[in-house]
């Protein structure tokens, strides 16, 4: 099923490659964190969303929003231009021909498997980067993408780029901020939609805006208070672009889990995205 909304991978087309990822952590208070009450949600241990079972949940949650399906592994072969000005959108995390990460994916894939169906399109991908053009690509490229997606090598390349650019930085920053699995997932979902970086409309900018309103658990703050500030800051940015104006992936997914106190993302999970209902048992 095609995506209902499009993740913004970088703040503006033609910006520097997403490979130049720098997520900085503002200096934390040198004072010892305030003791946490045993009953406080922030008394929970810092989560580890990279644990296999939790990572699988994270993949399904994102896929529900990105592809209207929990079957995220079915999205390796997905490719289409959804008319958002970012060229082709494809694969498990919405790699785009216009925003640099599709190019980097195909380059990495070609380094591992030189004789692959997509290698000959690298010159065209470099040329269209930063635009919505299909020049040198078209239906033949779409077919080649699907052909490659049937191979373990290209699936592995997609997994690796997803982790390198999006998942691992989000989880690492979440752990540094003392967040639970839910908090780390909130970071991951945000970086998928808004992209890495420090501009005001990127993940880093949203995090900075939230930290002006509330302390992270690592700074002695309450996680519920901090995540609500993060969600509020993110929604401000989402509403600035028509394609992201529907904030249900925050309101009827992440806030549902937060209000239920499900910081560990334990199952069963029930939520809605863009009006569709989902369950993970």
Please identify which of the residues 66, 177, 222, 223 carries the catalytic annotation: 66
* Backbone torsion region of residue 53, taken as left when φ is above 0, otherwise alpha when ψ lies between -120 and 50, otherwise beta: alpha
Please identify which of the residues 48, 80, 84, 251 carries the catalytic annotation: 84
Q: Is the distance from CB of 72 to CB of 60 less than 8 angstroms?
A: yes
Nearest to 135 by CA among 81, 75, 95, 78: 81
Q: In angstroms, rounded to a whole number, what is the distance separating the alpha carbons of residues 130 and 241? A: 18
Cα–Cα distances (Å) from 183 to 103, 166, 236, in that order, read 30, 15, 18
Residue 242: active-site member? no
DSSP state of 87: -
Q: In angstroms, rounded to a whole number, what is the distance separating the alpha carbons of residues 98 and 127? A: 10
3-state secondary structure 39-75: CCHHHCCCCCCCCHHHHHHHHHHHHHHHCCCCCHHHH
**Which helix or strand (DSSP H or E) is residue 258 part of?**
helix 255-259
Q: Considering just the CA atoms, what is the radius of gyration of the chain in Å?
A: 19
DSSP state of 202: S
In sign, the C-alpha dihedral spanning 76, 248, 253, 8 is positive
Nearest to 25 by CA among 173, 199, 236, 202: 173
Q: In angstroms, rounded to a whole number, what is the distance separating the alpha carbons of residues 138 and 133? A: 9
DSSP state of 156: H
Residue 241: active-site member? no
Please enumerate in sequence order all residues whose Cβ is within 8 A of that of 20, keeping only pairs 6 or more positions apart, or say none. none
Q: Which residues have a catalytic role annotated?
A: 66, 84
């Amino acid at each position: 099923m095609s995506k209902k909304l499009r993740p913004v991978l970088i703040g503006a087309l033609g910006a520097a490659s997403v490979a130049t990822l720098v997520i900085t952590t503002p200096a934390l208070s040198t004072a010892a964190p305030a003791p946490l009450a045993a009953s406080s949600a922030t008394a929970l241990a810092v989560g580890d969303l990279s644990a296999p079972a939790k990572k699988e949940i994270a993949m399904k949650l994102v896929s529900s929003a990105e592809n209207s399906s929990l079957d995220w592994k079915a999205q390796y072969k997905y490719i289409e231009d959804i008319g958002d000005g970012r060229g082709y959108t494809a694969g498990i995390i919405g790699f785009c021909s216009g925003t640099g990460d599709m190019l980097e994916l195909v380059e990495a894939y070609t380094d591992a498997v030189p004789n692959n169906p997509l290698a000959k399109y690298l010159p065209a991908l470099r040329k269209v980067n930063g635009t919505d053009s299909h020049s040198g690509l078209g239906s033949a490229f779409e077919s080649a993408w699907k052909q490659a997606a049937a191979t373990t090598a290209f699936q592995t390349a997609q997994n690796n780029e997803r982790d390198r650019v999006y998942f691992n930085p989000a989880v690492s920053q979440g752990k540094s901020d003392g967040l639970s699995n839910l908090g780390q997932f909130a970071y991951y979902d945000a970086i998928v939609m808004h992209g890495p970086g420090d501009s005001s409309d990127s993940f880093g900018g949203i995090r900075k805006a939230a930290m002006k309103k509330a302390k992270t658990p690592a700074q002695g703050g309450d996680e519920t208070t901090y995540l609500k500030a993060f969600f509020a800051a993110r929604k401000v940015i989402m509403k600035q672009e028509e394609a992201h104006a529907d904030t249900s992936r925050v309101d009827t997914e992440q806030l549902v889990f937060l209000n239920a106190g499900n910081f560990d993302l334990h199952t069963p999970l029930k939520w809605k995205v863009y009006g569709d209902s989902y369950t993970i048992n």
